[in-house]
């Protein structure tokens, strides 16, 4: 856990002695601190919404345990509903900065990215068998945009890498594999690397016949909030919301959930 991101448990409490822990029903924390909520990911009452680099949290019933956890997050702020308006915890004037909570989602989608789903070829308007991955003989430089790596290999690399800003990578987990996106992806030694923006193809491979990425995704009816990873054995449609900042704490949690250390 990044100690620089932690303050004392009382540092975010208002001075007002009447400001009780059971009053807030919303909070905002830095997105980089989201992994500190891992212990509460199964609480159905705790929901989240991401806006820029902030995570907004909403709940309907008081819970002292997660309030104490949130109080320890540097920069956390809390809000209390009063007369259909939001007020900063411990202050009397209303505020308009709290976003609409109707779009908030269950917390497990933030702390533990969603499982990826293989899309059967029959679901695509263009029959999958008409497309082939073939070696890219043109030799055109193609920037690496993603990589697929075993969870255990990634966790081992992260444990041995001191001082690396893991949060600059975005990760989505599929069973025991992790898809990483970002610039300057690490060299782990067991990964498969991909190129492309929204249609990810293995490095040094291309499609035959040649299709424009945008056109192909439109024909496949892939939503603008999704990307597609294409390999010889599978086609995977991935929601962009599944990608969350990579963290050592999150990797450790995933390894423990699989009975590994």
Q: Give the total number of structural domains in the chain.
A: 2
User: 80: which residues sit within 8 A by CB, 6+ positions away?
Assistant: 23, 24, 25, 86, 87, 88, 89
Residues 249 and 133 in one domain: yes
Residues 166 and 187 in one domain: yes
Residues 234 and 123 in one domain: yes
Angstrom distance (rounded) from CA 37 to CA 39:
6
Least confident range from 13-22, 64-73, 167-176, 243-252: namely 13-22
Q: Is the pTM of this model over 0.75?
A: no
Least confident range from 121-125, 129-133, 244-248, 254-258: namely 121-125
86, 111, 136: which is the final residue of a domain?
A: 111
Residues 134 and 30 in one domain: no
Over residues 78-94, the mean pLDDT reads 91
Residue 118 pLDDT more than 70?
no
Residues 34 and 10 in one domain: yes
Residues 62 and 159 in one domain: no
Residue written as token pair 């081992």: 156
The answer to whether the beta carbons of residues 245 and 170 sit under 8 Å apart is yes
Residues 100 and 124 in one domain: no
92, 111, 130: which is the final residue of a domain?
A: 111
Residues 209 and 148 in one domain: yes
Residue 128 pLDDT more than 70?
no
CA dihedral 201, 152, 233, 246 (to 10 degrees): -40
Most confident of 77-86, 187-196, 227-236: 77-86
DSSP secondary structure string for all residues of 179-224:
EEESSS----SS-EEEE-SSEEEETTEEEES---HHHHHHHTT--T
Residues 21 and 125 in one domain: no
The percent of residues above 70 in pLDDT, for the chain, comes to 80
Residues 57 and 28 in one domain: yes
Residue written as token pair 């932690």: 6
Over residues 145-160, the mean pLDDT reads 91
Cα atoms found within 13 Å of the Cα of residue 66, Cβ hemisphere only: 29
Instruction: Classify 238 as helix, strand or coil.
Output: strand
Angstrom distance (rounded) from CA 180 to CA 187:
12
| Burial per residue of 174-193, b for 16 or more beta-carbon CB atoms within 10 angstroms, e otherwise | beebbbbbbeebbebeebeb
111, 141, 156: which is the final residue of a domain?
A: 111
Angstrom distance (rounded) from CA 91 to CA 106:
28
Residue of 166, 172, 202 lying closest to 185 (CA atoms):
166
Instruction: Classify 20 as helix, strand or coil.
Output: coil
Residues 132 and 251 in one domain: yes
Q: Domain range for residue 176?
A: 117-257
Residues 65 and 95 in one domain: yes
């Amino acid at each position: 856990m990044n100690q620089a991101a932690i303050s004392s448990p009382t540092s975010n409490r208002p001075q007002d002695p009447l400001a009780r822990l059971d009053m807030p029903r919303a909070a905002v924390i830095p997105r980089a601190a989201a992994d500190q909520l891992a212990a509460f990911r199964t609480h159905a009452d705790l929901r989240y919404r991401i806006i820029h680099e902030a995570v907004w949290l909403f709940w309907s019933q008081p819970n002292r345990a997660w309030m104490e956890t949130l109080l320890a997050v540097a920069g956390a702020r809390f809000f209390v509903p009063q007369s259909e308006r939001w007020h900063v915890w411990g202050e009397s004037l209303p505020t308009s900065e709290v976003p609409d909570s109707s779009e908030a989602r269950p917390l497990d989608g933030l702390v533990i990215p969603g499982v990826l789903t293989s899309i059967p070829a029959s679901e695509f308007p263009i029959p999958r068998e008409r497309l082939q991955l073939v070696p890219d003989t043109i030799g055109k430089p193609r920037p690496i945009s993603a990589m697929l790596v075993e969870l255990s290999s990634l966790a081992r690399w992260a444990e041995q890498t001191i001082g690396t800003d893991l949060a600059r990578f975005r990760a989505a987990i599929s069973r025991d594999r992790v898809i990483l996106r970002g610039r300057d992806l690490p060299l782990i030694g067991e990964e498969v690397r991909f190129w492309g923006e929204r249609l990810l193809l293995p490095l040094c491979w291309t499609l035959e016949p040649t299709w424009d990425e945008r056109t192909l995704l439109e024909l496949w009816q892939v939503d603008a909030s999704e990307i597609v990873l294409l390999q010889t054995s599978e086609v995977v449609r991935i929601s962009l919301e599944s990608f969350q900042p990579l963290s050592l704490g999150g990797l450790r949690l995933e390894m423990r959930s699989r009975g590994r250390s």
